[in-house]
Amino acid sequence: MTGLPAHDSHGKIVYVVEDDADVARLIRATLQDFGFGIVVCPAAADLFRRIGRQAPDLCIVDLGLPDMDGMDVVRQLRERCDCGILILTGRGYVGDRIMGLELGADDYVAKPFDPRELVARVRSILRRTASPAAGQRKAPSTALFAGWSFHTGSNTLAAQDGREWSLSTAEAQLLKTFIAHPNRILSREQLLCERDVSPFDRSIDVRISRLRRKLEADPQNPKLIRTVYGAGYLFAADVSWS
């Protein structure tokens, strides 16, 4: 395979939830060439058994599984495991893409796929979920704004009344972008660029909608994440760190 540098990916474990043996072999061979440790799970039951023993860094999930609908797998995976999630499927409907994002997937690749694109998407997700390097000076990790606390190390959002939400990797990265640029208008292009995701239609809108449902008293009339028509979005809050 050419066109991608062979960065060190050793130590990263990827679970491939795919019942098509030929596709699973292609994914395994592609990612093993770049140093990933691969575990193939031909059914959802295999995935959840293995997660109990070892959590992966990322899961690649096919939606057409023999024992469970792939969307249910994504939902349960997000609830049970703090790992990246990449949907890889032959379903080409925009609605499936949006639903997958709504349930917490970090990205979506349609079959047939270019192996180089698959590697790039996997790396992109893992970069966003990577922990700080050993020895790196620890920065303040809790953002405080408008009565909320956001713990960047665990991607946990907490309200003043004690309620907590665990954000998906993509939601958390979007919120990190907002709190790094409070009271500034950010264009959709800036949000896509800073988040390093594939810019298919409505990906940013879906994640902003999910954040609003958690942060806003009235998500239909948002006060915190405001739409600036023709310009982008504005995070209307002062942010402090602890």
Strand order across the 225-228 sheet = 185-186, 232-235, 225-228
Q: How far apart (Å, rounded) are the C-alpha atoms in residues 63 and 19?
A: 10
CATH code of the domain made up of 142-241: 1.10.10.10
**Residue ranges, CATH 3.40.50.2300, the chain:** 13-129
**Residue ranges, CATH 1.10.10.10, the chain:** 142-241
Q: How far apart (Å, rounded) are the C-alpha atoms in residues 234 and 242?
A: 23
| 127-132, long-range: CB < 8 A, 24+ apart | 127/196, 128/84, 128/169, 128/170, 128/173, 128/195, 128/196, 129/57, 129/58, 129/83, 129/84, 129/169
Q: Give, for all 242 residues of the chain, the pLDDT tens digit.
A: 444 444 445 578 999 999 999 999 999 999 999 889 999 999 999 999 998 888 899 999 999 899 999 899 998 898 888 889 999 888 767 777 788 888 888 888 888 899 999 999 999 888 876 654 444 444 558 899 999 999 988 888 999 888 888 888 778 888 988 998 999 998 887 787 544 444 444 677 888 998 999 999 999 999 999 999 989 899 999 999 88
pTM for the whole structure = 0.62
Please tell me the class of the 13-129 domain: alpha beta
In a 3-state reduction of DSSP, which class is residue 41? strand
